[in-house]
Amino acid sequence: MARSRLSFEAYFQGIRSGNKLILSKAITLIESKLEQDRPLANQLINALLPYSGQSIRIGITGVPGAGKSTFIEAFGEYITAGNKKIAVLAIDPSSKISGGSILGDKTRMDALSRNPLAFIRPSPAGKEVGGVANKTLESIILCEAAGFEVIVIETVGVGQSETMVKNMVDFFMLLVLTGAGDELQGIKRGIMEMADGIVINKADGDNIAKAGLTRKQFESTLHLFPPPESEWAVPVMTCSSLEKTGIAEIREMLNAYKTSTQINGYWDSKRQAQKLNWMTRNLENLLLQSVFSDPGFKKELRATEEKVRKNELNPNEAADYLFRLIGR
């Protein structure tokens, strides 16, 4: 496949001037699995890091059918109407086999994607779970350096995506449906305690009364959890992506979160912890790559795999043998 890479200067200047096409090409560069792309990608990240960090990074998750895309469209419309720039990145480490969704990906966020103040980057197929977190964090850095003030990371479906996204954003939002009675059933275990805010979508028309009940139910359930480290009182809000109600309140709530956690220091300490995790993951990748890409080791690896296949060594013994070979 022919690869067209730009020069460092072209990427850097393009991103700094907010050129969405070049931003998109730069994300493709950092997502590349080709080893020869990595030095340029690192150079770019290092050069852009000083211009990053100014956005609010919002993770959005939700049950299938909760209307994540329509919510993000309505939210993005509101943000851009205030002359702010919003970037939407999707994370989907799930669909390893076919790379496809069973319901088919409709063209998503159609209106927002045509908005000059919005940048939408769909989730690339076939990413490896291990590398997704770092690539997404690097994409966030690029978007911030391109002047995007609100970054939305959308989790698409299954996999470890929720925990991963929670660990790379400032605010983690759980979007749920208005319903009656069984709302809590559909929420995946462990998700609710991760949420910094719960938003009940589709609170419109006949649903408005029900939405109030749903909110009460979530509020009383939230009391069952220990208070979060952020000392932030997790709000339960209602909105309608259709009628564009509640969106302004959500934006205000996000601002309040930022202010409150900046005052108590949680905002910074979380961002620092995220940077340290990023460093550690990078270091681990470098270490493993350096071992596994060594030609001599590769040969030994193949020979040892053959022995495991033939049951001459068990996987534990084989790992020990290879480890001793590396001589650390």
Q: Is 299 in the site for a copy of itself (CB under 8 A)?
A: no
Half-sphere exposure of 276 (CA within 13 A, CB side): 6
Between CA 236 and CA 175 the distance in angstroms is 10
Shortest distance, position 134 Cβ to a copy of itself, whole Å: 9
Query: How many residues are listed for the chain in this entry?
Result: 328
Q: Which stretch binds a copy of itself (CB under 8 A): 13-21, 114-122, 142-150, 270-278?
A: 270-278
Q: Which stretch binds a copy of itself (CB under 8 A): 17-25, 204-212, 251-259, 303-311?
A: 303-311
CA dist list (Å): 228 to 29, 63, 301: 37, 22, 46
Q: Is 194 in the site for a copy of itself (CB under 8 A)?
A: yes
Which of 108, 215, 204, 85 has the alpha carbon at shortest distance from 154?
Answer: 108
Shortest distance, position 327 Cβ to a copy of itself, whole Å: 10
The interface with a copy of itself within residues 96-115 (CB under 8 A) comprises 96-98, 101-103
Q: Is 45 in the site for a copy of itself (CB under 8 A)?
A: yes
CA dist list (Å): 148 to 18, 33, 34, 218, 320: 8, 26, 28, 32, 48
Q: Is 225 in the site for a copy of itself (CB under 8 A)?
A: yes
Q: Is 31 in the site for a copy of itself (CB under 8 A)?
A: no
Q: Which stretch binds a copy of itself (CB under 8 A): 42-50, 112-120, 241-249, 253-261?
A: 42-50
The interface with a copy of itself within residues 116-145 (CB under 8 A) comprises 129
Between CA 125 and CA 97 the distance in angstroms is 10
Which own/partner contact pairs does 30-37 have at CB distance under 8 Å and 24+ positions apart?
30/135, 30/138, 30/139, 30/142, 31/124, 31/127, 31/135, 31/139, 32/3, 34/3, 35/293, 37/3, 37/5
Q: Is 65 in the site for a copy of itself (CB under 8 A)?
A: yes
Per CB under 8 A, residues contacting a copy of itself are 42, 45-46, 49, 64-65, 92-98, 101-103, 129, 156-160, 162-163, 184-194, 221, 224-226, 272, 275-276, 278-280, 282-284, 286-288, 290-291, 304-305, 308-309, 314-320, 322-323, 326, 328
